[in-house]
Structure 1
Amino acid sequence: MIDLLQPLANRLDIFFADPISRCVLLAAVLLAHFGLRLTFYNRLNSMGWKRATIKRTEKIAFAETWLTPLVLGWAFFQPISSWVRGESSFEMLPLGLLAYAAFCLVLGGLFGFLWLLWRPVWRIQHVPAKRSVELHDVSKQTGRTLARTRKCRWAAKLPMNQIFEMAVEEIELPVVGLPEQLDGYKIAHLSDIHLTGQVAPDFTAHAVSIATQWSPDLMALTGDIVDKQPCVAWLHDLFSPARAKDGCYFVLGNHDTRVSDPDVVRDRMTDAGWIDVGGKIETVSLRSVKCQLLGNEWPWFTRPDVAVMSESTVNFRLCLSHSPDQFDWCRRNGVDLMLAGHTHGGQGRLPLAGPILSPSWHGSRWASGDFYRSPTTMHVSRGLSGVHLLRIRCRPELSLITLRCPGS
C-alpha cells in the first residue's frame, strides 16, 4: 500500500510545497468536515423518528463534530505542525489521518458542489412568480408587546433579528396544468405557527386577520401549529375568525407531536371551523372544477392512499404537505400544486448564498420559494414563527397566492 501511495505523495508534495498552500488545504479539510456534519444535521431533522431519538442523536453528533478535529489535532499535533511548516512530506503523516482528510475532501466536495448548484441565486427549477411584499411591524400595528418571556424579549432585541417583522407576500404563481376557470383563484397560505408560549398569540391573530381581509377563495395551513400543551387552549380563539369562500384546510407537522395527543389539536382546529385533510383526500368543487384536495403529513403521520387517488378522475390536484420532501411523492401522483412549510426559509440567509440550515432530506435546496418539476408546482413558505427565536434576513411569511395559468 505504501509503495502504491508513494508516487501520489510525491506529486502532492510538489503541488503543496509552501506553508501557505498547506494551510489552505488544511482549512479546506476542516471546512469539509464541518460541512458534512451540517449535511447530516439537515437530513437528521427530516426523519420521522421520535423527538427524543433525534435530540439524543443531535447531541452526540454535535459533540463528535468538535471532538474529532480536536482529538486528531491533539494526537497528531507534531506531524501536522511539521507538515504545515514544510519541514516534512505527506508520507510522514499517519495513514489514518490522510484517509480521513481524503474522505472529507471527496465527500465534502461532492455535497459542496450540489449545495452551490442549488443556491437560489441561480434560479434552477424556480418558478418566475411575481411578488409584492408589504412589511408589517406586528408589535406596532397591534399595539401589543409580543414577547411573553425574558428569553423572547432578549432575542427580539438582537441586531438584525426579524422575528416580529412579518412579510405579507402577494404572489402571482403560474401553475402548469391549471384549469382556465381557476385562473385568479386566491389561496391564503399559513405555515409553521409554532405556539410555544414565548410569543403572544396576537402575532398569529394578526396573520389570520390579514389573510381573512384579503378575501381568499381558500385558506391553507401546512402544519406545526402547537408546540406546548397549554397553547392548545388558544386554538379556537385564534383560528375561528378565519374565513374563505371554499373553506379553511389544515394538516399537522412534526412539532404537533410534542403535545400529549395530536388528535386534540385536530379536534380544536375542527371546532374552530377548519377542515382536517391530514392523510385524507377531499373531492371538492372549486369554481365548478372537480378537484382533489390532499393532506400529506409524512413521515410523522400519514399520507393519502394512492389507490384511492387514482380511482377518481379530477381536473386539478392540490396537496397540503408539511414538508417539501414530499415533492417527489406529489410528482409521482399527478399533483398540480403543492403547498409546504417546515424549513422556515433556513431561519437565516447569507447574502447571495442564501440558506444554510434546513431540516430537509434535500438540505437547503427547497428552503423557501416557488419551484416546478413536471408536473408539480410547489410553493414553500418561510413560515410565521418557530421554536428558535432568531431570523436573520429571513422574515416570517404570510403567503397570499393568486393562481395563474402560465402566459395569462
Structure 2
Amino acid sequence: MFLTLLFYAGVVIGEAACIAYAINVLHGYPWRSRWTEEITLVALAAIGLGSLELARRYWFVPVSSWPTSVAALAGGFCLIGFVGVPAAQLSRSLRSRFVGVIPSERREELQDLPREEFIGDGHHAWLLRLPGNRSLDLEAHDFSVAFPQLPDEMNGLSVLHLTDLHFSRAYDRRYFQAVCEAAADMPSDIVLVTGDMVDDPACIEWIAPLLKDLPGPLGKFAILGNHDHFHDSELIAAALTEAGFRVLDGETTLVDVEGRRLAVGGTCAPWGPPIPDDAVPSADFSLLMSHTPDQVYKSAKQGWDFILTGHNHGGQIRFPLIGPLLMPSVYSRRFDRGFFRIRPSLMYVSQGIGAKHPIRYGCVPEITRFTLVRSEATARRDLAASSGATKASSCSPT
C-alpha cells in the first residue's frame, strides 16, 4: 500500500511539473491571439480529466492491471517527479550560488499609505483584497554593479529601471502615482522603462502625466511589451514620447557621457522587431532594454554589456524552496528574477510593478536603481596591462 501511494505521489508531482513546464513554454511564444488564456483553461480541463482517470485506476484497479501505455505514462511522470524535479531544483540552487549575491539596499516604499485607496473598480480588482496578497507592497532596490570594461568617465553612472506597470482599473490611479513618486525620489542619470505599460486601453491617458516628471538628465528611454501589442501600440508609444521618453523599437542610440559613447538599445522581440546584428553601434559601454529575458542568448552574442528585462514578474507566486511554478518563458523558470551572467553580458530580470492578474505571494513589485562602478582592482589591473594586453570583455557583479 505504501509503495503504491508513493508511486502515485510521484505521478502527481511529475504530471504537475510537466503541465507547468508546458504552460510556461507555450506562453513564451509570441501568440497574437487574445484567447490564449481560454485555450489554456480548456487544455487544463482535458488534462484534469486524464488525472481523474489515473486517480480512478489508482483506487479501483491494481497498477499491475493497467494497460501498458497507461502504466508507461504513469511511470514516466513518477520518474520526473522523483528525479527530474529534484534535479531541476538542485540546478537552480547551484546557479544562484554561481551568479553570486550583489549587495542591495531594499526599502518598502508604500507601507505608510492607505492600501484601500490603491484598489480600483476594474476587472480583477478583487484579487488585490485577497489575504496576504503583496501586489501593493512596492520595494525600491539599489544595486552597485562593477563592470571591468566600464570607462572611468562612466564610473558612478546611475540607471533607474521600471517595467511591467500594467496600467489597468484593477488598480486605482493613485497607486501608480505613488509608484512614480517613489521612482522620482531615486534620481538617476538615465531612466529605462521596459514595456507592458497597459492592460486597459482607457488607461493609456495615464502614461504621460504619471511618467513625465521622472528625472533623467542623460536621457529617458522606453520599449513596448507584449501586452501593449494587444492594444493601440502606436498610441502607447506616442504617450511615452509625450512623457519625454524616446521609444526604441528594434533601434539603438548613442548617449555622450563626458566624451565617452554609451549605446542604448531596445527591443520587444519576439512581439516587435529585433535589433539587427549590424545595428549595434560601437561604444565604450552598452545598455539593452529587452522586454523578455528570452532574448538574452542572442543579445549576448551581439555583445551588450548590461541587459535589463522584465516580463516574467518573478513568477508572482513563489513557494518556499520550490520558487515559482508558472512563468511565460520558452526557458520556463530559468530566468525568473535577479542577475544572470551570459558572457559577455550581465542581465537583470525585474519582478515588475503591476500585473494583469494582480496577485503576488512571496514576490513583491519593485523599482530598481543600478549604480555602475569601476573597481579599483580592475583599474590597477588595466594599468598593469597597458603595454598592450587586451582588456577583458566579460562583466562580473561584485
Question: In which range does the TM-score fall when normalised by the shorter chain?
Answer: 0.7 to 0.9
Identity of aligned residues (%): 24
CA distance in 2, matches of 1:120, 1:199: 35
CA distance in 2, matches of 1:158, 1:34: 25
Would the aligned equivalents of 1:212 and 1:244 in 2 still touch at CA under 8 Å? no
CA distance in 2, matches of 1:235, 1:49: 25
1:360 aligns with 2:333: no
Q: 184, 209, 212: which is aligned to 1:237?
A: 209
Q: 24, 27, 31: which is aligned to 2:9?
A: 27
Deviation string 1:80-104 (CA, Å, 9 cap, x unpaired) is 3xx4xxxxxx3x3311111211332
Change (3 A) 1:76 1:111: closer
Report the counterpart of residue 171 of structure 1 in structure 2. 143
Report the counterpart of residue 340 of structure 2 in structure 1. 371
- Structure 1 runs (4+) deviating above 4 angstroms are 106-111, 150-153
Report the counterpart of residue 294 of structure 1 in structure 2. 265
Deviation string 1:321-374 (CA, Å, 9 cap, x unpaired) is 110111111111101000000111110222233222211122222111112121
| Alpha-carbon distance, 1:389 to partner | 1.8
Report the counterpart of residue 342 of structure 1 in structure 2. 311
TM-score (structure 1 length as normaliser) = 0.86
Deviation string 1:286-309 (CA, Å, 9 cap, x unpaired) is 342212211121111111111222
Change (3 A) 1:142 1:170: farther
Change (3 A) 1:274 1:142: farther
Report the counterpart of residue 194 of structure 2 in structure 1. 222
Report the counterpart of residue 137 of structure 1 in structure 2. 110
Query: Structure 2 matches for 1:34-113, cutoff 5 A?
Result: 34-74=16-56, 78-80=60-62, 83=63, 90=64, 92-106=65-79, 111-113=84-86
Report the counterpart of residue 13 of structure 1 in structure 2. none
SS in 2 for 1:372: strand
Gaps of 5+ in 2: 379-398
Would the aligned equivalents of 2:327 and 2:333 in 1 still touch at CA under 8 Å? yes
SS in 1 for 2:289: strand
Moved more, 270-279 or 344-353: 344-353
Report the counterpart of residue 116 of structure 1 in structure 2. 89
1:279 aligns with 2:250: yes
CA distance in 2, matches of 1:121, 1:171: 22
Q: 1:375 is aligned with what amino acid?
A: P
CA distance in 2, matches of 1:378, 1:144: 35
Deviation string 1:40-87 (CA, Å, 9 cap, x unpaired) is 11111111011335234312321122111113444675323xx4xxxx
CA RMSD for the aligned pairs? 2.3
| Alpha-carbon distance, 1:398 to partner | 0.6
Change (3 A) 1:26 1:144: closer
Deviation string 1:196-241 (CA, Å, 9 cap, x unpaired) is 1111222222222222232201000011001111111111111111
CA distance in 1, matches of 2:55, 2:321: 33
Would the aligned equivalents of 2:12 and 2:81 in 1 still touch at CA under 8 Å? no
1:270 aligns with 2:241: yes
Change (3 A) 1:176 1:32: farther
CA distance in 2, matches of 1:213, 1:37: 42
Give the paired residue count. 377
CA distance in 2, matches of 1:57, 1:405: 49
Gaps of 5+ in 1: 1-18, 84-89
SS in 2 for 1:295: strand
CA distance in 1, matches of 2:146, 2:84: 31
Q: 2:106 is aligned with what amino acid?
A: V
Q: 397, 400, 403: which is aligned to 2:366?
A: 397
| Alpha-carbon distance, 1:118 to partner | 4.2
CA distance in 2, matches of 1:370, 1:113: 23
SS in 1 for 2:369: strand
Report the counterpart of residue 5 of structure 1 in structure 2. none
Q: 2:201 is aligned with what amino acid?
A: Q
Q: 1:115 is aligned with what amino acid?
A: A
CA distance in 2, matches of 1:337, 1:229: 32
Would the aligned equivalents of 1:152 and 1:199 in 2 still touch at CA under 8 Å? no
TM-score (structure 2 length as normaliser) = 0.88
Moved more, 33-42 or 362-371: 362-371
CA distance in 1, matches of 2:311, 2:247: 18
CA distance in 2, matches of 1:142, 1:29: 46
Deviation string 1:103-131 (CA, Å, 9 cap, x unpaired) is 32455567525531343575144243111
